[in-house]
Every structure is written in C-alpha cells, then in structure tokens.
Amino acid sequence: MFKHGYKNFEGKTNLTSVGLMAILLIMAAFLAACNAESLTYQQTTPTSTPVEPTSTAEPTGRGSGETLKLLYWQAPSTLNPHLTSASQDWGASRITYEPLASFDKEGNLVPFLAAEIPSLDNGDLAGDGKSVTWKLKQDVKWSDGEPFTADDVLFTYQFISNPAVGASSAGVYRTVSSVEVVDDYTVRVNFSDVNPAWSLPFVGPTGMIIPRHIFEDYNGPNAAEAPANILPVGTGPYRVLPPGIKIQEVLFLGNELVDTNKIVFEPNPFFRETDKPFFSRVELRGGGTVKEAARLALQTGEVDFAWNLQVDAATLSELEAEGQGQAIPVPQSFVERIYFNFTDPNRIAPNGERASLDFPHPFFSDIKVRQAFAYAIDRETIAALYGSAFQPTSNILVSPAKYDSPNTSFEFNLEKAAALLDEAGWIDTNNNGVRDKDGKEMEVLFQTSANPLRQETQRIIQRALRSIKVDVEIKVIDSGSFFDSDPNNPNTAYHFYADLQMYNDGNPNPDPGSYMEYLTTDQIPQKHNNWTGENVGRWQNPEYDALYRQSTTEIDPDKRTRLFIQMNDKIIEDVAIIPLVHRARVIGVNPALSGVDPTPWDAELWNIKDWRLVSK
C-alpha cells in the first residue's frame, strides 16, 4: 500500500460549499495562475551554497554536477520513514537515510551502513536462527557531523518498538526480543524464537536508521512533532536544506485543497564516499497530477525523474514519442486490489466508532455476494489500461515468483454474478433497478485515491455492477488524504468509511512474512488502536491466523513457501480481497541519467549516490 501514524504536513482541508465559495472569492486571482495541470519548477535560494558545477561535459567529483530534478506527483508529507508506509515518503526519505542493508533486484543483500552481510559462514548468523550480528562501517557520520554508532541502531529499534510512537514499521520488528550493543560498531539482534526472516529488521525501506541525538526527545506520543520529520539528519549522500518540506502552490482537486511542496537537497559534506554524490543540488517537487508529471518527464524533459506514472499506456506512448524521456517499467510485487468492508460503515457503535466489528456489513458478510462481485470484475480490460507490463491476477502474493499460487483463477461472468446474488436473496422486488433484501437496497460506495487509471477502473466496475442491478456511487479522495495515517482524518484507507475501496499493496522485500501479516486479525484498524494496522477490510479468519503464526518459525524454506501459498489461497477462497492487476511501477527518466537501477524491494532512489547526468 502503499499502501500506512504521522502528522499530515500537506494541510488538506475538506470544504463545505460555503467555505469553498469563500475561498474561491478570496483566491480567484491566485487560482487563475495555479492550475492542477500545470507544475513548473521555481528556483529558490538555498540556505547554504552548493558546490559550483564544473564546465566539463562529464564532470566528476562530489557536487560537480548541476541540479537533479525529481517529481513525485503524490507529495511526500514526512521524511521520517517510520511514521509512514507511503512509498512517496520512503522515496524522499531514502535520499538522506540509509538502512544497514537492502535487497537488489535479484534479491541479494547489499550493505549500506553494514560493513558486511551476516552469514553462517562468517559466524554472524546464529546457527539456531535466534540472533544475527551486524558489523557496522566505522567511517560514517551523520549529516551534522556527529558519528554514527551501534547506539543509533539500538535507538532506532527503541523508537520503532515504542507503542506510544505508533511506528508504521513496527510489524517488521515484532519478532525481535532485544537489540544489544556489543561495541561501537557491532550490534546483535536477538529474536524471541527461530526467525527465518532474520534479514528484515534494519533492512530496506523499513530499516532506515535514525539518529538518537536528534530523535531521543521525541521517542513517545510526541513523535509526530519532531522537527526532523521534515528536516532530517541522515547518513546518506544528500542532506535536506532548511526549511525541509516547503509548501508551494495550493491547488484545487475536486472539492479539496491540495498543497504541492518542494524539498531541496545538497551533498552531505560528511558522506563517507568522498567522490560522491554527483549533483550539486537535488530538487524534489511533490504534488500536482500524474498526467502533468508524465508530460514533464517524457514530453518536455523538464524533470529528470518522475515517479509512479500511473497513466494509461496510450498516453505514455504518445508522450514518450517526443523523445525527451523514457518510460521504464519496474517489476514490482504490488497488486492493485479491491477490499470489501466486512463491517457496516454506516452504523455507529456506542463508543462513537464507525465501521465497528460489532456491526457486520449488511451484505458483504455473505460469501455468495462477495463471489458475485468477484465475477463482475473484468480484470483483463482493467489490466489493458495499464499496458503490457501489467497482468491480471487472481493472487495477492505474486513475487518472488515461487510464491505466485497456481491454485487460483478468475473469471469475468456477469450471468454467474447475477445468479449468485439471486441465490443470496438480493432481488429487485420493487422494480426500481436496484436489488434489495429485507428493505435494504444494494447500494455501494466505492472509494479510492485520485488517479486517472483508478478513476477509469472505478467506472468499468461501476458499469458492470449496475448492469446486474447494484447501485454504485464513486468517491475519489486526494492521495495525500487517502494514504494519510492521521487517526483524526476520516478519509483514510484505514478508517474505510465506504463499502469498497481500491489501491495497491505488496511485500516490500523478498520475504513476504510481514506483508502476509497484514490480513491477520491483530492487524485490524479500529478506534481502540488509533486506526493502525493493515487489515483495512477487517476480515477475520482463524485458520489464516494460524497459518501465519506457523510461518514465523518455519525454517524449512520449501515448507514456508507452501504456507504462504496456502495463506494466499485462503484469502482468495474466502473472497476477502479481489486482486485485479499485478503491477509494474512506471518511472519517467531522462535518457542522459545514468546509474538508475531500481529494485522492487526499495525506493527507486535507493542508489541515488551513483546517479549521474552524462550530458544534458
């Protein structure tokens, strides 16, 4: 998911009609010049002077290049990677933060802050599978000049595992019983039991290390208030210039105000590789529209890198024909999917909670209804919207390939869908064109984030369901609001105050353990847990929970693979989720930009220290 608490720095406001009119009158002149389909770069003066680029065609040395321009059309809202699970936040954070290691596209561990990768051969991986020892690089400093040590790794664990923090990455660390500082450059991670997924803590996007001396005063309920959430201190190749995340233009998208923002980076003067990074300045612009992002990267070449171009294949080809940029599909583990709400979003419990487990959904509690909806989804047509790099799927676990279950299938069949609804007793008794049962109309609110492909997918599904007499209302929510983790924001995917919702999610590393935990009962977001947890549909299945618990200690890789396939199959058999498309992530890249080597298991900017512009 994209899919996951942090303070929302984008300042989005839902507007009543009165409020909207007032703001329109006040801002008319401003909005005339500020269009959701127009996004241009404006130079701002950095607070410190970047290294001047040389005049050679292929300059070398730290900061000898010019400005690298990045565009994330979903605006990053925090630079604390442990207070978000949004990939745009991870991407922006990854420019300045590093994990101990990460996975390349082949699934091999690559050291960052680690001096070497633990193994049985070097003795750093315990033979009983209950601990792993990481040796750290000794020439590393934070971007403020303070030394990086094993104590920072320990603190990162203390921060993530503190329930008062509400870290989104906490699930990866639940198997950790303790973290020991052996010496300044050695840390031992102890597990509560045999842990086949020993390589996940402190690795990849959820493993970025944060500094004790910056965050120690914010290791608690005030974590979202830390100034470093928008102005971080990291060990990576670039550091953020004040003020950090800077709000830029304000745009209207639908009936919401959406902020665009800008983050400016300069080379980290304390970065351990003295000849890197290449660029004297990195500008990351966040917000706007995905179509404009694609245009700026592919057609006009105004940006060097554009993230996650969820634009239909025909439009991408047309823009790419201009020759200014290349659209590159990056294989991913992500699956676009539809979640059923297993609770009634329209009833309110005595404690004021909507979508409460006390009130099952009036018709999605019936598996025949869920099966009918699955038959009504034309996955082939939906996949074609995205292009040849995207395939329809019947699984939610698709990568690495060994986990992609051969036991499931899908079928688009409106006749079967209608027959199942008839069997379930949902018939149009009053001839108004909508099925009903016991006085309840089969009316569905279907929500997702603002994105052209998702809106077209909504319309395809809406037409199919209406053809079998299911009334479907479409709701579109700004991406920053939809993927926000603010417990006070009712429009988030976690609150899920609708009947259906759609987005993509997938395992963030080659081991799917933490991803498959998402659908366990313990992961249901509710009021009592401050709307944290990834089981947004609030599906409960004891057999699934048992399979997951078994997978956490199974060290035989073949048996563990079979357990994950069984878990996938359980989700599909119970129609807890409708998988739609196995996605690739399309990025727009300047052809002169070298070193871009994306991996499915980290942000595309994971190796930005190696990026260069060889010509312009």
Alpha-carbon distance of 90 to 206, in angstroms, equals 9
pLDDT of 60: 63
Helix (H, G, I), strand (E, B) or coil at 123: coil
Alpha-carbon distance of 430 to 368, in angstroms, equals 22
- For residue range 98-115, what is the model confidence (pLDDT) as tens digits? 999 999 998 899 999 999
Tokens of 290: 């995905």
Which amino acid is residue 610, in one-letter code? D
Alpha-carbon distance of 334 to 338, in angstroms, equals 13
CB atoms within 10 A of CB 118: 23
DSSP 220: S
pLDDT of 615: 67
- For residue range 392-408, what is the model confidence (pLDDT) as tens digits? 999 999 999 999 999 99
pLDDT of 40: 29
Contact 368, 418 (CB under 8 A): no
Closest alpha carbon to 259 in 248, 273, 244, 246: 248
Q: How far is CA 7 from CA 29, 227, 534, 557, 612, in A?
A: 30, 11, 18, 39, 34
- For residue range 590-605, what is the model confidence (pLDDT) as tens digits? 999 999 999 999 999 9
Alpha-carbon distance of 486 to 495, in angstroms, equals 10
Length reported for the chain: 616
Alpha-carbon distance of 27 to 113, in angstroms, equals 48
What are the residue ranges of helices labelled H in 244-364? Answer: 290-294, 313-320
What are the residue ranges of helices labelled H in 177-302? Answer: 212-215, 290-294
Contact 65, 595 (CB under 8 A): no
DSSP code per residue over 13-62 = EE--HHHHHHHHHHHHHHHHT--TT---------SSPPPPPPSSSS--ST
Give the chain's residues under pLDDT 50.
Answer: 1-57
Tokens of 303: 């940006």
pLDDT of 258: 61
pLDDT of 256: 52
- For residue range 326-382, what is the model confidence (pLDDT) as tens digits? 999 988 899 999 999 999 999 999 999 999 999 999 999 999 999 999 999 999 999
Predicted TM-score of the model (pTM): 0.72
Those residues whose C-beta lies under 8 Å from the C-beta of residue 166, and which sit 6 or more positions away, are 5, 83, 223, 530, 532
HSE of 69, CA atoms in CB hemisphere, 13 A: 16
pLDDT of 25: 29
pLDDT of 387: 82
CA dihedral 449, 86, 533, 496 (to 10 degrees): -10
Cα–chain-centroid distance for residue 227? 23
pLDDT of 26: 30
Q: How far is CA 517 from CA 91, 324, 487, 545, in A?
A: 23, 42, 21, 8
Burial of 284 (0-12, 13-18, 19+ CB in 10 A): buried
pLDDT of 377: 98
Question: Could you name the CATH architecture of 331-508+577-584?
Answer: Roll (3.10)
